[in-house]
Amino acid sequence: MFGYVTVCEPELKVKDLKKYRAYYCGLCRTLKEDYGFMGQMTLTYDMTFAVILLSSLYENIAAHEEHRCKVHPVKRQHMLRNEITSYAAAMNVLLAYYHMEDDWQDDRKVSSLMTKSLIQGKAKKIIEKYPRQSEVIQQSLRELGECEREKSMDIDRAAGCFGRLMAELFVWKEDIWEKTLRKMGFYLGKFIYLMDAYEDLPEDRKKNRYNPLKELAKRPDYEAQMEQILRMMIAESTVRFEQLPCLVDVDILRNILYDGVWNHYNKIQMKKSEEKNDDKKSI
């Protein structure tokens, strides 16, 4: 469900793209050092965004480092890290742990049980350190699981579960920015969930999997409705973002929120357009 909150590379300055990649590589490095290979596998663009957002808001300067890695063994990679990077890494692992736990409880997936067991020790330490976030993540995923079991077509309910999860992740500190960050994270989380459901709908129909958009998709104005809903969610999120005093890396953050989040949507539209053209040619 992650991977939608990333940059739009063609619209980003070269220096900003390099800096974004340095934050991403810094998070990857921290995951490997703190949680090993399995922790590194949980790396997401979405939590990279959280690192940049919170670092900008709290003016937490990231230290510059250069390291080689297995992906880029020849040339040293630029990396940016601070204490927020460590927080984001912990949240990455915690999300993966609870996701694996849900998969095991609901579907008895052996692969999920094995993966969960590999990070269980690390996850328990994270739970002890971040009980607030841990409780909300667990509760939100549990309620989302209930939506799936009930085959609920209540779109707001299902998306709201993931919205509350993201809202909690954005609150690094409970302070004057907490309320604004929660609102921003809540609507961004709903956007992520709905975009994922929109992208997965054709495959979910084929495999008879749960998707809260199945009923809405029967309407002739489905595409227009989905675009409107998605734009409403991201608009609510960006309104809150603009209320935050973010100055450092603001061009990167705006690129992600106003352009990058639409990368997948634009690809879906291009694919649908190509399929329509192919159908016309075959007639």
pLDDT 10s digits, 155-175: 999 999 999 999 999 999 999
Helix axes 250-258, 222-241, angle to 10 degrees: 160
pLDDT of residue 277: 74
Cα–chain center distance at 82 = 20
Q: What is the mean pLDDT of residues 223-238?
A: 98
Percent of the chain with pLDDT over 90: 77
**Tokens found for residue 243:** 């209320």
Residue 110: band (very low, low, confident or very high) from pLDDT cuts 50, 70, 90: very low
pLDDT of residue 3: 86
CA distance 30 to 22: 12
**DSSP class of 209:** -
DSSP 23-57: HHHHHHHHHHHHHHHHHHTT--HHHHHHHHHHHHH
Question: Is the predicted pLDDT of residue 93 greater than 50, yes or no?
Answer: yes
Report yes or no: 56 and 4 within 8 Å, Cβ to Cβ: no
CB atoms within 10 A of CB 259: 17
Report yes or no: 112 and 104 within 8 Å, Cβ to Cβ: yes
Q: What is the mean pLDDT of residues 81-91?
A: 97
pLDDT 10s digits, 58-76: 999 999 999 988 777 778 9
Residue 104: band (very low, low, confident or very high) from pLDDT cuts 50, 70, 90: very low
**Tokens found for residue 54:** 């919170």
CA dihedral (165, 170, 176, 179) in degrees, to 10, reads -40
Helix (H, G, I), strand (E, B) or coil at 200: helix
Selected residue with higher pLDDT from 35 and 277: 35
Q: What is the mean pLDDT of residues 139-143?
A: 92
